[in-house]
Amino acid sequence: MFGFLSRLHSISFTVVFLALLLANAALWQSPIIGVALLAAFLVTFGNWVGRWAAPSEHGPTQTWVGVWMLLSAVMVAGAGAYYAWQLTPDVALVIAMAAGPLAWTLAGKSKLGWFRRPHDNVSEPRHRVPAAFWLAATLVVAGLAATAWILLGAATTDAVRTVWERVPPAALVSFGLSAFVLAGLLFHGKERAVTITLTTGALGVFLLAAVLVFPLGFGFDPFIHQATEEHIARFGTITPKPLYYVGQYALVLFAHHAFSIPVATLNALLVPLLAALLLPVAWFGAATHLLRDKNAGAATLAAIFLLPLSGFVLTTPQGLANLWVLLLVLAAIPTLVRNESPRVWPLALPALAALVTHPIAGIPAMLFAILLASDPRRNGDRVLARVVHWTTVVAGSVAIPFSFVVNALRSTGTTGFDLSAISTVSALSSFSLFLSNRFDPLLDFVYLYGLNATALFVALAAVGYGISRRQMRGTLRVLMLMTAMLAVNWAILSTAVDFSFLIDYERQNFAARLVPMALFFLAPLVILAVGTWINRVRPGPASLRVATVAILAALAAASFYLAYPRNDAYEAGHGFNVSQADLNAVHAIEKDAAGTPYVVLANQTVSAAAVRELGFARYYGDLFFYPIPTGGDLYASFLSMSEKPSREIAKAALDLVNARCSKDPGCTQPPAGTAYFVVNRYWWEASRIVETAKQNADYWWALDNAAVHVFRYQTYD
């Protein structure tokens, strides 16, 4: 009887939700209503999917797994629709409307309302919560609110190299004090529903700093992806269709079309918010399974800031796919240590979602899913399982460099691979312990940790692996295999693959992306090491407990500082953020051109501003009319112009784009007759460049108190 009533209530909710969804999409198109509907969509349908995917779990653990699976299904379905046809509003609505009945069906298979809950990790027996706990929790909330307020007060539209140029040290102090009190509450292990929520808030403040400080946007890649998403939102597709990144595009456009949330808002918040909301619960669930002690599992949440979190501070396909890999590792722990749900095959869905989002993360995700499915220990040590397992290990050790070789052959006809260049010594030379100082105690501590963070993480993981071998009989061996495979991929990618088409400082970028991924696979071992230490310290002297809490809080504050670009005594920042002056320059050039074809020689931030404001307005063959990417021919013209501005370089740039257009049968752009050269005040030797350009340009003007100079060159025949 109760089961029937429960299912009737679920049907009623689904019908009402779908009616409101259609009404908002067709009539109101309200972002506020859309946000409320999206929250209801994720929490309710995610919980239903979680009951099927993780029936032995309870409450928040079920819900996070279900939300993650639901979002993965949206990414895969949206990518499939995009590859096969287009990603239109109708497609997004069909996916949203199909999700409810599907989630309801899956929940019914888990016997809604009548399943066993052996891992009731969050809720506790009814008891009186001490007043001291509420006082401490209030202090945490106040400190995090103060940090967010300071960040918001430092918001700027000027060109700066880092958030820390505008954010006062008080933000780090307030965050560090909040982290100290929070670590103390977590160390106690009680009132987990509150402490996990507080951890989510702390992680949210940590990851959203750039969003609060830079209202125009942060970084470079997000501008490109946002422009692509807005183009697809308008036309349903983009030509040529990308082979990757589509997982993020599908998720953003699903929320945009079905729930009327602006693309710019989604592009700014997607990855930081998902990381803040999903990671603490996923970490806690994995820790409880590993330690078999819910109090110790909660205490290890203070170590979540040891993770390499910098990739989650802005929304990019790489960041989203990396988050999916980390969640995949944490979600696999019940299967690894107790052979419980979620089983292997449901985990293939988020692995596939990572693959359609970014191959550098998606390939390891798929390899991990295959290793889990073929683990001989779970397959009765069958011959076929052993063959598949170890073949995957061997092939997976070269999978990512191989994918680059295949892509190079497809695009250039050459392999871009030099087997003789493989050198483990050369690759490992970039890793060394750092012991130095700049006679600034706080900054010295931050960099002592930051420049040795990878070594510390690996050392903790080694301790955790030793514990797992003694206590779990090697059930976590697959994590070490994945780490070793990624290490081999990294060594090959950093030495033998040719990235000469990239600008110098970007050539190690692809290999460097594998380092945080390898650390993600070691995260459960770090949880095991930290949790074991906490269990030993908890009954010990108060001084040792306080020291443990203080160290974890100090490392959290240091990680907060290190998660963003820096310009200090240790590190010179060279990248500047997009400013209002950059946007003004883009619009001024567009107005000055008055509809005539032109090209612009400018730095990366001005180019990002152009993409943000104008989208992909003009292409001359395969050349965009602003110099991106930085390894392209037009960017080389900009660098030459920055050395010594001249009419000849400007004309050569025009000849370049016009020749490229004439060779492309699909190029319909009229020949460009005007070149603009943009100089930002912060550019190296800007004053000399500006004075030289004034002597040979046809016309020039300055913007925003000379923050930007624009020079115009006409065609010379």
Dihedral angle, C-alpha 190, 192, 198, 200, nearest 10 °? 140
Could you tell me which residue, 266 or 574, shows the higher pLDDT? 266
Could you tell me which residue, 517 or 504, shows the higher pLDDT? 517
Q: Dmax over Cα atoms in the chain, in whole Å?
A: 88
Q: pLDDT digit string (tens) for 221-244?
A: 999 999 999 999 999 999 888 888
As a whole number of angstroms, the distance between CA 84 and CA 97 comes to: 20
Q: If you ran DSSP here, which 8-state letter would residue 474 be given?
A: T
pLDDT reported for residue 117:
41
As a whole number of angstroms, the distance between CA 347 and CA 424 comes to: 33
Give me the residues paired with residue 714 across strands. Answer: 674
Average pLDDT, the chain: 90
pLDDT reported for residue 418:
63
Q: Residue 346: what residue type? A: P
As a whole number of angstroms, the distance between CA 294 and CA 119 comes to: 9
Q: pLDDT band for position 150 (50/70/90)? A: very high
- Please compute, for residue 443, the number of CA atoms within 13 A of its CA located in the half-sphere on the CB side: 13
Sign of CA dihedral 78, 217, 280, 473: positive
Cis ω for the linkage preceding 168 (within 30 of 0): no
pLDDT reported for residue 126:
66
Could you tell me which residue, 272 or 493, shows the higher pLDDT? 272
The alpha carbon of 602 is separated from its chain's Cα centroid by a whole number of angstroms, namely 28
Take residue 35 and report the two structure tokens written for it.
């946000």
The alpha carbon of 412 is separated from its chain's Cα centroid by a whole number of angstroms, namely 30
The fraction of the chain above a pLDDT of 90, given in percent, is 74
pLDDT reported for residue 610:
97
pLDDT reported for residue 111:
52
pLDDT reported for residue 112:
47
For residue 701, the tally of other CB atoms under 10 A from its CB is: 12
Contact in structure between 599 and 657 (CB atoms under 8 Å): yes
As a whole number of angstroms, the distance between CA 217 and CA 212 comes to: 9
Q: pLDDT digit string (tens) for 313-323?
A: 999 999 999 99
| pTM of the predicted structure, to 2 decimals | 0.94
Q: In three state form, how does the secondary structure of 415-465 look?
A: CCECHHHCCHHHHHCCCCCCCCCCCCHHHHHHHHHHCCHHHHHHHHHHHHH
Q: DSSP letter string over 560-577?
A: HHHTS---SSS-------
The alpha carbon of 574 is separated from its chain's Cα centroid by a whole number of angstroms, namely 22
As a whole number of angstroms, the distance between CA 289 and CA 3 comes to: 30
pLDDT reported for residue 556:
98
Q: In three state form, how does the secondary structure of 477-518 look?
A: HHHHHHHHHHHHHHHHHHHCECCCCCCHHHCCHHHHCHHHHH
Give 68's contacts (C-beta < 8 A, 6+ positions apart): 46, 278, 282, 324, 327, 331, 350
CA distances from 336 to 268, 333, 583, 623, 674 (A): 35, 5, 51, 49, 63
Residue 432 has pLDDT above 80, yes or no: no
Least confident interval from 214-223, 378-387, 579-588: 378-387
Domain ranges of the chain: 351-538, 580-714
Sheet holding 708-714, edge to edge: 598-601, 674-680, 708-714, 699-703
pLDDT reported for residue 201:
98
As a whole number of angstroms, the distance between CA 586 and CA 189 comes to: 54
Place of tokens 């001249």: 646
Residue 676 has pLDDT above 60, yes or no: yes
As a whole number of angstroms, the distance between CA 600 and CA 192 comes to: 56
Closest CA to 281 of 46, 461, 115, 481: 46
Give me the residues paired with residue 676 across strands. Answer: 600, 712
Contact in structure between 266 and 241 (CB atoms under 8 Å): no
Closest CA to 159 of 682, 686, 701: 682
pLDDT reported for residue 344:
80
pLDDT reported for residue 652:
96
pLDDT reported for residue 243:
82
Q: 630: left (phi > 0), else alpha (psi -120 to 50), else beta?
A: alpha
pLDDT reported for residue 115:
34
Q: pLDDT band for position 119 (50/70/90)? A: very low
Mean pLDDT over 602-608 rounds to 96
As a whole number of angstroms, the distance between CA 131 and CA 136 comes to: 9
pLDDT reported for residue 505:
47
Least confident interval from 42-46, 122-126, 427-431, 634-638: 427-431
Contact in structure between 578 and 217 (CB atoms under 8 Å): yes
Q: pLDDT digit string (tens) for 73-115?
A: 999 999 999 999 999 999 999 999 999 889 988 887 655 443 3
Instruction: Mark out the alpha helices in 189-316 (DSSP H runs).
Output: 192-207, 209-213, 221-235, 246-259, 263-291, 294-299
As a whole number of angstroms, the distance between CA 219 and CA 497 comes to: 26
Q: pLDDT digit string (tens) for 338-347?
A: 766 667 889 9
Take residue 588 and report the two structure tokens written for it.
């001024």
Q: Residue 619: what residue type? A: Y
Q: pLDDT band for position 2 (50/70/90)? A: very low
Q: pLDDT digit string (tens) for 65-77?
A: 999 999 999 999 9
To 5 degrees, how large is the angle CA 89–CA 90–CA 92? 65
Q: pLDDT digit string (tens) for 357-400?
A: 999 999 999 999 999 999 887 776 678 889 999 999 999 999 99
pLDDT reported for residue 414:
61
